[in-house]
């Protein structure tokens, strides 16, 4: 990689760290702490939030009728999500040790915690449970796929990607056959940053 690209990547990492720090400050604003991996809100905040609940029927009535008809299509997608979740988990448990790739920790991606929010009615909680599971699985699968791609085909695309996975910036530039042939073996083994996780 060129020095300029390395500099930009480093700046992005610094900004991501800064963003995470700012997001953690939000906890103070919304009066919660995390103790033993559980979120704890102040009692007065819970009481105030619960007083604003509108109820499941009123929540559902707020949507156009056509949106209600899409519910079976949305929920039907849970089956492929569960299947891919199971499939990629088995895949990485079998293949990653052979490739010497550190396994992806599923709990870093599939985080189920919004069902505990006191200001959501039952339907909203179920919807949140579905979304956090589905999107968590997509992130989990993407990280497994990114690590696999780094091992088997770590070459950037000719066209810029709209959104890149975590491993992509390490890949060889499109058309850089010298680096590809000279450094492929070392890049396939370069997962030190994952081992720290």
Identify the CA nearest to 100 among candidates 108, 88, 92.
92
User: Does 31 reside within a domain?
Assistant: no
Q: The whole model's pTM is what?
A: 0.78
The CA distance from 6 to 112, in Å, is: 35
pLDDT for res 134:
96
Q: Tell me, yes or no, whether 158 lies in a domain.
A: yes
121's tokens: 């009615």
Q: Is residue 126 part of a domain?
A: yes
Mean pLDDT in consecutive groups of 10 residues from the start of the chain, 197 residues: 75 80 66 73 74 74 83 93 98 97 96 84 89 96 97 94 92 93 93 80
Structurally, the chain folds into a number of domains equal to 1
What's the CA gap between 165 and 146, in Å, rounded? 6
- Is residue 30 in a domain? no
- In order, the DSSP letters of 24-44 are HHHHHHTTEEEETTEEEE-HH
Supply φ then ψ for residue 14, to 5 degrees. -65, -45
Residues sharing a CB contact under 8 Å with residue 112, sequence separation 6 or more, in sequence order: 129, 132, 133, 136
Kindly state whether residue 190 falls inside one of the protein's structural domains: yes
In angstroms, the CA 135 to CA 68 distance is 21
The boundaries of the domain holding residue 89 are: 65-195
């Amino acid at each position: 990689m060129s020095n300029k690209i390395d500099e930009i990547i480093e700046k992005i990492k610094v900004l991501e760290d800064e963003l995470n720090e700012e997001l953690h400050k939000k906890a103070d604003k919304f009066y919660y702490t995390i103790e033993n991996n559980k979120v704890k809100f102040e009692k007065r905040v819970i009481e105030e939030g619960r007083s604003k609940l509108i109820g499941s029927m009123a929540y559902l009535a707020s949507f156009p009728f056509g949106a209600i008809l899409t519910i079976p299509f949305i929920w039907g997608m849970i089956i492929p999500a569960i299947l891919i979740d199971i499939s990629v988990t088995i895949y990485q448990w079998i293949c990653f040790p052979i490739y010497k790739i550190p396994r992806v920790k599923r709990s870093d991606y599939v985080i189920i915690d919004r069902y505990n929010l006191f200001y959501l009615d039952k339907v909203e909680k179920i919807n949140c449970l579905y979304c956090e599971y589905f999107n968590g699985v997509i992130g989990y699968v993407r990280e497994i796929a990114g690590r696999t791609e780094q091992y088997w085909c770590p070459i950037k695309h000719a066209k810029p990607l709209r959104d890149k996975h975590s491993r992509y910036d390490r890949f060889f530039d499109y058309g850089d056959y010298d680096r590809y042939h000279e450094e492929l073996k070392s890049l396939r083994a370069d997962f030190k940053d994952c081992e720290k996780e």
